Amino acid sequence: MARVVLDDLTKRYEGGALAVDKLNIDIKDGEFICFVGPSGCGKTTALRMIAGLEDITSGEIRIADRVVNNLPPRDRDIAMVFQSYALYPHMSVRDNMAFGLQLRKTPKADIDKAVEAAAKILDLERFLDRKPGQLSGGQRQRVALGRAIVREPSVFLMDEPLSNLDAKLRVQTRAEIARIHTRLEATMIYVTHDQVEAMTMGDRIAVINEGVLQQVGTPKELYEAPLNRFVAGFIGSPSMNFIDLKVSNEGGVVTLKGEGSVLRPDDTMSVLLRDSGLDTVTVGFRPEHLEVGAVTGPGLDVTLTIDVIEFLGNDVLIHGSSGGRDVVAIVDVDNTLKVGDSVVLSATPRRLHVFNPVSLARMIGTG
């Protein structure tokens, strides 16, 4: 159990490429935090620096109030689960899990007890004497988790541990990891490129892009109040729609217009837009927040020509374009919309996010 603090953590490779740029995150004791971002964003590099597998260019890492910058991995009191599992192929499942404890000269009886206990949690008791090669992908992944658990580390580091599993197994193992976290109350740092994984598992999520931390917050905060356009587009599935609208101020009445769309701002939004002095803004709205039919009073109306309709069971996903921009909406299954139809969709001001088109930072929105 430990607090992990990343203080201006930076990694610059020898070629000059900046992988992680001044990362500042304070991870609370017992917290489950997800590092999420597209591939190559530096999230894995950050994790490897915490693990001690990658040198730190500058900045500081503190685990349990101890600076670990120059400590080898074994002295950091961490365990790591690799994307590739990295099980020792020549050792049995039991030995794979016991290896770390054996190296720490733990008494054999204690090792056996720890391994049996971990095997029980992970339902691996039947496989203890098998080699990793004789196990399925899901079982191997559980062994990798078991290897981390038996060590009882202060911090668990997980590098995309589910990406090699099929969809069904992924959901199961996701729940398993969440259970382990509740049970052990250990600090967990979980790297993934899958925002759904991050949203479902993390107490908090750190969104990273191009080595720079975009936002840290609870899944709800990131969903409802993304700090910038990147976070807004990255979190949520299907992703948020964005359209550019021109701001016009006619006799003190602010209106935003685009090709096929109109936004009538409410009072607070009007004031902010007037004060910003911007000619154009980017407006974001989530597919699930669109309603069929125009809105009365303040809100956004988008006229959409439908290209594709996808049936999801309870809902229908409609793809179309409005003023040259692709727009996706989730609507009720009872609608009789057809491909080629032109439909007006609307969103209330509460559901709108307004971004500065240059800085991409969020100006207005909930939260």
Least distance to another protein from the beta carbon of 82, Å?
A: 5
Binding site for another protein (CB under 8 A): 51-53, 72-74, 78-80, 82, 84-90, 99-100, 103-104, 131-135, 137, 140, 147, 151, 164
Query: Which CB, 100 or 202, lies closer to another protein?
Result: 100
Please tell me the total number of residues recorded for the chain in this structure.
367
Beta-carbon count within 10 A of 178 CB:
15
Helix (H, G, I), strand (E, B) or coil at 45: helix
Query: Which CB, 82 or 292, lies closer to another protein?
Result: 82
Least distance to another protein from the beta carbon of 148, Å?
A: 9
Least distance to another protein from the beta carbon of 102, Å?
A: 9
Query: Which CB, 85 or 190, lies closer to another protein?
Result: 85
Beta-carbon count within 10 A of 366 CB:
11
Query: Which CB, 57 or 239, lies closer to another protein?
Result: 57
Query: Which CB, 107 or 313, lies closer to another protein?
Result: 107
Residue with tokens 């727009």: 327
The one-letter code for the residue type at 45 is: T
Least distance to another protein from the beta carbon of 89, Å?
A: 4
Helix (H, G, I), strand (E, B) or coil at 120: helix
Give CA torsion, residues 141, 144, 145, 150, to 10 deg. Answer: 150
Query: Which CB, 189 or 207, lies closer to another protein?
Result: 189
85, 159 contact by CB (below 8 A): no
The one-letter code for the residue type at 18 is: L
Least distance to another protein from the beta carbon of 160, Å?
A: 12
What letter would DSSP give residue 57?
S
Least distance to another protein from the beta carbon of 14, Å?
A: 10
Of the candidates 144, 221, 157, 152, which has an alpha carbon nearest to the alpha carbon of residue 4?
157
Query: Which CB, 147 or 204, lies closer to another protein?
Result: 147
Handedness of CA 96, 98, 101, 105 (dihedral sign): negative
Least distance to another protein from the beta carbon of 177, Å?
A: 18
DSSP secondary structure of 177-241: HHHHHHHH--EEEEEES-HHHHHHH-SEEEEEETTEEEEEE-HHHHHHS-SBHHHHHHSSSSPPE
Which of left, alpha, beta for 302 (phi over 0: left; psi -120 to 50: alpha)?
Answer: beta
Query: Which CB, 112 or 221, lies closer to another protein?
Result: 112
Least distance to another protein from the beta carbon of 62, Å?
A: 18
Measured in degrees and rounded to the nearest 5, phi and psi for residue 206 equal -110, 115
